[in-house]
Chain A
Amino acid sequence: MPQQSPALLFDTTTTTTVFVHPLVLLHILDHHRRRPAGSARVIGTLLGRFDDSGVLVEVTNAFAVPHAERGDEVAIGKDFNKTLWALLQQNSSKQQREVIVGWYSSSPLLSDTSSLIHDFYSTETEDGNPVHLVVDCRLTEENAVTMRAFHSTPILVQGETLGNLFHELPLSLRSNEPEAICVSEMIKSMNDNNETTEREKPPLQISMEQLYELLETACTYVDAVVDGTTPPDTEKGRHIADALATVPRMRPDAMDKLFHESLQDLLMVTYLSNLTQTQIAIAEKLNATLDLQ
């Protein structure tokens, strides 16, 4: 992806950063997979939220819209868009109301039809400046699924619109905690498919091993700096110092007390739940005999 300098492009307008949630990407890829035979790309509506300051667009949801392209002509399912949007609005809660923020397409090309579709979405969004998200599903560029976001401004010559100029916007994936959990879960299940033979380690062990690995990396770095083989970096040093400072210093007796207290709590709960289970088992047996009377 060519990295254009933001200063070159956005000196006249405010820079808008686009955040895309993984759900949207999954939806686009799924939709692309289900495209009608013969069509090169699919389009759809992006839903999300605009930040008050206008520097941030968060794309949280998307839905597919059928369309057909023939040469320079394009037909968009306008009614479809309207109906589905109305349906989706029925169940979104008040405080987290999503609005139409733009549209996506699964082809890497910005063609003439793109600006036609963009014009349509200008009328759909509130501020008339939709975001266009392009996801490249060909896997040719960098051998990865690449995505880019665009804004467009009309080129005016003596008051006449000649065309649209698409600006690229900075784009980033963003996920909240549950989404991140889902994604890491998906990555894990994908790896499981490849190597089913490997036995699943307890999760706690995995976490600890990773923690040790990180500590090891930090140690080698610090050692290298002390030996003089690596030039010191104040920022890194500060980060390490910060991390070390978060380890609570405790007196051994206070530590012991804490340890025993939490252990006792946990054991107590285990005891209670076991007791309940036993009681339930007895109650069940009694209940079963009721039929036999």
Chain B
Amino acid sequence: MAAVIEASERISQVHIEGLALMKIVKHCHESLPHMVSGSLLGLEVSGGILEVTHAFPFPDSRAAAGSAAAVSDTMEGDQDGHEYQIEMMRMLREVNVDNNCVGWYQSMYLGIYSTSSLLENQLSYQTDLSPNAVVILYDPMQTTHGKLALKCYRLTEECIRLKENEENAFIDPRKIFEEVPVKLTNPGLVKALLMDVADGVHDDSSNLQLFEKEHNTNRLGSSTVKTTFDRLDLSTNPYLEKHLEFLCGWVDDLAVEQQKMQFYARQLHRDKHRRKDSSAGDAWASSDAPRRMESLLITNQIRSYCEQMNQFTSEGIEKVYLMSGMQKKD
């Protein structure tokens, strides 16, 4: 990665430009069902703001291998990807794009983000590139019904310290990742265009309307209005089913991890009677001890999942009451 800028202050907000967002969205959607990743370009500006102005995808060398559920592991194609990145950034510099890598993005499947591959990847970004590197997660599956599912995360200092010292210690699962608020910004010209779109300037030509009718296509003007009505969609069951399914999976995984821990703890306990000298702390630090980070990540994932479900169900309940109210009036 080309320029490493020494961070003056810790960033507190991420401003993403429409162009970068659209590029991420396009890449993630077109590669479905594969989960993909890419690089973010931008600048750190004063006031603790990280501006993301451009994004480009990583080459999809492992497209065939990754299944839908498995969040792709970018570390694998790293060697190939690194050259690609440098080449890409060199090209983009020629056309005056911000030539500074500020992080990476990845597509997320139904809110799954707390995985060890993401952790390792983000760790390498935050230690090698810049402490202010972030990962932007975009969920192509959840981005429906007028809602944009975009999240920005980074590792906490506590977590980085833990990983760097290779400690196998406990950390509050809530404090592994921290979310950075994301804000959409746009340069003046793009704002002008958006204003036109909002006013419906770009969808007035009459011969196109005929064409639309024949081909049954969406125009931008009409569909921007439509997104607000998509929220009224009543079908919640497929989502809930999927969510419960995943939750079951995570709980099972957690149980397996806990069992490993328990087994190891019991073994330690037995050994303690034989060898009095070694302390428990050393034993947990040894390389064959089960990694505690695994279970902590799963815990974190389950928590965020539950929150997501709660939010979803409360919306669903609102809608159900709304529907019954409307029907009774008739």
Chain A residues engaging chain B, CB cutoff 8 angstroms: 3, 6, 17, 19, 22-23, 25-27, 29-36, 42, 44, 56, 60-61, 64-66, 77, 80, 83-84, 87, 90-93, 96, 137, 139, 142, 144-145, 170, 172-187, 189-190, 203-204, 206-208, 210-211, 250, 255, 259, 262-263, 265-267, 269-270, 272-274, 276-277, 280, 283-284, 287-288, 290-291, 293
Inter-chain contact A145/B189, CB cutoff 8 Å: yes
Interface of B: prevailing SS: helix
- The segment from B6-14, B119-127, B156-164, B201-209 found at the interface with A is B201-209
Contact A276 B251 (CB under 8 A): yes
Q: 21 A-B contacts, Cβ less than 8 Å apart?
A: A3-B205, A27-B19, A31-B95, A42-B95, A60-B26, A66-B95, A173-B221, A179-B25, A181-B147, A204-B322, A255-B327, A259-B324, A266-B320, A269-B243, A273-B313, A274-B306, A276-B302, A283-B299, A287-B170, A287-B295, A290-B265
Interface residues of B (CB under 8 A from A): 17-19, 21-23, 25-27, 29-31, 34, 36, 53-54, 57-60, 63, 84, 87-88, 91, 94-97, 140, 143-144, 146-148, 169-170, 172-173, 183-187, 189-198, 201-203, 205, 207-208, 211, 215, 217-221, 223-224, 226-229, 231-232, 236-237, 240, 243-244, 247, 251, 254, 258, 261, 265, 280, 284, 292, 295-296, 299, 302-303, 305-306, 309-310, 313-320, 322-324, 327
Q: Give every chain B residue within 8 A of A29 (Cβ-Cβ).
A: 187, 189-190, 193
CB-nearest residue of chain A relative to B97?
Answer: A34
| The residue from B170, B185, B303 contacting A291, defined by CB atoms under 8 A apart | B170
Q: Given the known inter-chain contacts A178-B143, A280-B302, please indicate yes or no for A26 contacting B59, CB distance below 8 A.
A: no
Closest A residue, CB atoms, query B269: A293
- With A64-B95, A259-B320 already in contact, the answer to whether A30 and B205 are too (CB < 8 A) is no
Which residues from chain B contact A42 at a C-beta distance below 8 Å? 95
Judge whether A17 and B208 touch: CB under 8 Å: yes
Chain A to chain B: the 10 pairs with minimum beta-carbon distance, closest first: A64-B95, A180-B223, A34-B96, A173-B220, A273-B306, A189-B184, A23-B22, A273-B309, A29-B189, A90-B59
Residues of the B chain whose Cβ atoms lie less than 8 Å from the Cβ of A77: 94
A182 in contact with B18 (CB, 8 Å): yes
Q: In the docked arrangement, what's the CA distance between A184 and B143, Å?
A: 13
Determine the chain A residues whose CB is within 8 A of the CB of B143 once the complex forms.
Answer: 177-178, 181
Give the Cβ gap from A162 to chain B, nearest Cβ, in Å.
31
CB pair A137–B231 under 8 Å, yes or no, is: no
Residue contact A269 to B240, C-beta cutoff 8 Å:
yes
- The DSSP consensus for interface residues of chain A is helix
CA–CA, A129 to B30, complex, Å?
Answer: 26
The answer on a CB contact under 8 Å between A87 and B88 is yes
| Bound-state Cα–Cα, A90 to B284, Å | 45
Could you tell me if B218 and A175 are in contact, using CB atoms closer than 8 angstroms? Answer: yes
Distance (whole angstroms) from the CB of A221 to the closest CB of chain B:
18
Q: Chain A residues with Cβ under 8 A from B88's Cβ?
A: 87
Query: In the bound complex, how far is the Cα of B244 from the Cα of A284, in angstroms?
Result: 21
Contact between B26 and A276, CB atoms less than 8 A apart = no
With both chains docked as a complex, state the minimum distance between the C-beta of B210 and any C-beta of chain A, in angstroms.
10
A144–B18 CB distance below 8 A: no
- Contacts A23-B26, A180-B227, A277-B303 hold; do A270 and B205 have CB atoms under 8 A apart? no
Q: How far is the CA of A173 from the CA of B208 in the complex (A)?
A: 10
> Which residues from chain A contact B314 at a C-beta distance below 8 Å?
270
| A267 and B321 alpha carbons, distance in the complex (Å) | 13
Q: Across the interface, do B186 and A186 meet the contact criterion of CB distance under 8 Å?
A: yes
The smallest C-beta distance from A206 to any residue of chain B, in angstroms, reads 6
Residues of chain B with a CB closer than 8 A to A31's CB: 95
User: Is B202 a contact partner of A173 (Cβ separation < 8 A)?
Assistant: yes
When chains A and B are docked, how far (Å) is the Cα of A34 from the Cα of B92? Answer: 11
Interface pair B317/A178, CB less than 8 Å apart: no
Kindly state the separation between the CA atoms of A267 and B317 in the bound complex, as whole angstroms. Answer: 8
- Say yes or no: A172 contacts B208, CB within 8 Å: yes
